[in-house]
A and B are shown apart, each in its own frame.
Chain A
Amino acid sequence: DSGVTQTPKHLITATGQRVTLRCSPRSGDLSVYWYQQSLDQGLQFLIQYYNGEERAKGNILERFSAQQFPDLHSELNLSSLELGDSALYFCASSVESAPTNYGYTFGSGTRLTVV
């Protein structure tokens, strides 16, 4: 157990629907990062939050949004889902805003299947 908790582990939904993925960082970590990993693809950075504030944004679609709450858990909202959104969504956390000392710790991911 990495200490980063992602729920749900699996999600199957229809096109056009909206889903929410949840991530709880390791105790003491202030930064949360969201990554998308499509089948046999690399890890695409979506967005980072640090202590409740958006810190960096990647190639995140306008249909996607995220937030980090006062208790530091984060949610990634995906709306108007398309077949191509099917992927593994990973959350990672780090102890500081600049994770150059310890690296990320990844959660186990949420596998989203859009049918």
Chain B
Amino acid sequence: GENVEQHPSTLSVQEGDSAVIKCTYSDSASNYFPWYKQELGKRPQLIIDIRSNVGEKKDQRIAVTLNKTAKHFSLHITETQPEDSAVYFCAASGTSGTYKYIFGTGTRLKVLA
């Protein structure tokens, strides 16, 4: 069935270091891959996304890479800051025609000052 695996489940980095979160999806028909940031008790917010016809996308300190052959995609955060501390979810679009997202299990990122 449709599945998205996300690693690691928790990640602690020193302020200023980089953080990398990796996801693997199972549905070869998935063509859209958003990343969401969720602060404690708040709603998930879209921070970056990538479509299957693109290998990499960057927006200031965050970037996402996609390897369709391997069904892998990753979130890279550079020069981390304490306000980057949150839970990050990757997602993949579901089976064609349904338009739902399958979410990963989340990564709790802690940026240590």
Using CB atoms and an 8 Å cutoff, list the residues of chain A in contact with chain B. Answer: 2, 31, 33, 35, 41-45, 48, 50, 55-56, 58, 90, 94, 97-100, 103-109
Q: How far is the CA of A80 from the CA of B45 in the complex (A)?
A: 32
Query: Inside 8 A of B43's CB, which chain A residues have their CB?
Result: 2, 90, 106-109
Interface check B105, CB cutoff 8 A: yes
List 5 contacting pairs A-B, 8 Å CB cutoff, sorted by A. Answer: A45-B94, A104-B101, A106-B43, A108-B43, A109-B43
Contact of A56 among B91, B98, B106 (CB under 8 A): B98
Size category of the binding interface on chain B: 20 to 34
Q: How far is the CA of A10 from the CA of B54 in the complex (A)?
A: 41
Check A97–B99 contact: CB distance below 8 A.
yes
Residue in A closest to B46 when the chains form the complex, CB atoms: A103
Q: How far is the CA of A58 from the CA of B102 in the complex (A)?
A: 10
Check A56–B31 contact: CB distance below 8 A.
no
Contact of B45 among A42, A94, A106 (CB under 8 A): A106
Query: Inside 8 A of B102's CB, which chain A residues have their CB?
Result: 45
Q: How far is the CA of A42 from the CA of B102 in the complex (A)?
A: 10
Check B94–A100 contact: CB distance below 8 A.
no
Interface check B74, CB cutoff 8 A: no
